[in-house]
Amino acid sequence: MTDTRDDFVVSFKPHPGYDAPLFVIKGSTAAEIADKIASVEATGLFATVGNADKTFKGFFLVGSELGGQPVEHPSTVQANGYTPPATPPPAAPAGTPPGMTAPTCPHGTKVFKTGQGKRGEWKAWMCPARQGDPSQCKPEWL
């Protein structure tokens, strides 16, 4: 079995935006990376990728200005023309139960949530702060 791990990876992005094209060059040695970068520069591949990105964005902008709508990518439609049914969206979180008033915390109005755990069904008022926020308040279990 051969080791295909690349010890060196160099990434290029023309700007930090999420929509910037990402160009990645991998190699097992620094010399291999240098050779690949030189080859990319010599063939004009950086410029080609940059031009393709500009062209794509231009078409996207023109299409959106003319009211165009995105279409399903052909690779997501099976050869026989059958498209599998979409999975249903997840159920909306439970609203405030009748007769109860939602408590508040420093982050706003708490959200009523229910779920099923190892010990059965649970209910709680949850802080609306983003999950992982260190200042998020503790749940109020019911």
Task: Please state at what angle helix 30-43 crosses helix 45-65, rounded to 10 degrees.
Answer: 60
Q: What is the pLDDT of residue 1?
A: 45
Q: What is the pLDDT of residue 40?
A: 83
The model carries a pTM of 0.38
pLDDT digits (tens, 9 = 90+) for 106-140: 888 888 888 888 888 999 999 988 888 888 999 99
Q: What is the mean pLDDT of residues 27-50?
A: 86
Give percent of the chain above pLDDT 70: 74
pLDDT digits (tens, 9 = 90+) for 77-89: 555 566 666 665 5
pLDDT above 80: residue 104 = yes
Contact 21, 49 (CB under 8 A): yes
Q: What is the pLDDT of residue 11?
A: 82
Residues 27, 14: Cα–Cα separation, whole Å: 21
Q: What is the pLDDT of residue 91?
A: 47
Residue 3 in tokens? 């080791």
Nearest Cα neighbor of 50 from 18, 11, 12, 17 is 12
| AA letter at 16 | P
